[in-house]
Amino acid sequence: MSKIIAAILTLGISLIAVAGGNPEHVQLPQDYKSEYTNYDTRTRSNGKQVAVLYANKAAIDSASDSSLAEGSTIIMEIYKKKMDENGKAMMDANGLFEKGKFAAIAVMEKRANWDAGFDAAHRSGDWGFAIYNTDGTVKENKLDCASCHVPLSSQDHLFSHSSLLDFIKK
Ligand code: HEC
């Protein structure tokens, strides 16, 4: 019996280790497409993907403060670039890459009252992370999500903080 429990624990831990972020703590909001606001669409800094960024109401309402309110959630839909028959990336009228295949959905959620079992080393400030497949299942991914976002404490850990502010000012 204890062997079975040990095996289950090992499996559980290895699943957590390969998931991008902490999907056991950070869920994908099912209604984000209808309930959230699309505040920016941009080429990702890796030059290979397109990001479509959404913020929930708590994030929109609080973004102009020095930091976003607890309860804020930001979603980044990740698309591949659309290629023409010559393998060249296609551009739209605004000079943005056209969206190709929908690849993944990244979630950042800000909370003060995270479960004690959620290791703060996996968070950036009060933000937790998780990445999902486009069908809403957990995406396996070894990225240490927090690592890149941690240095951005002056903009509440968000790369797109200034675009969110610009969007709200309009
Ligand atoms: C290598 C550095 C790096 C890692 C690792 C990383 N991110 Fe990011 N993240 C970025 C950058 C840069 C942006 C801004 C969009 C862009 O240019 O790609 C971003 C943007 C985001 C956004 C939109 C909010 C914002 O900060 O603008 C979310 C949500 C997000 N990342 C979630 C995640 C999740 C979930 C993971 C782990 C699976 C992760 N990130 C890992 C660099 C990183």
- Centroid of chain to Cα 80: 16
Q: What is the Cα–Cα distance from 24 to 138, expressed in whole angstroms?
A: 9
- 165 ligand 1 Cβ < 6 A: no
- 141 ligand 1 Cβ < 6 A: yes
pLDDT of residue 14: 45
Cα of 149 to ligand 1 centre, how many Å?
7
pLDDT of residue 136: 97
Nearest by Cα to 104 from 160, 20, 31: 20
Residue from 108, 133, 152, 156 to probe ligand 1 pocket by mutation (most atoms less than 8 Å from CB):
108
pLDDT of residue 132: 97
Model pLDDT for residues 83-102, shown as the tens digit of each residue: 999 999 999 998 899 999 99
At 8, list the tokens: 């289950």
- 130 ligand 1 Cβ < 6 A: yes
pLDDT of residue 6: 53
Those residues with Cβ within 8 angstroms of residue 62's Cβ, 6 or more apart along the chain or in another chain: 68, 69, 72
Spans of the chain, pLDDT less than 50: 8-17
pLDDT of residue 2: 57
Other beta carbons within 10 Å of 60: 17
pLDDT of residue 20: 81
For atom 38 of ligand 1, the residue with the nearest CA is 20
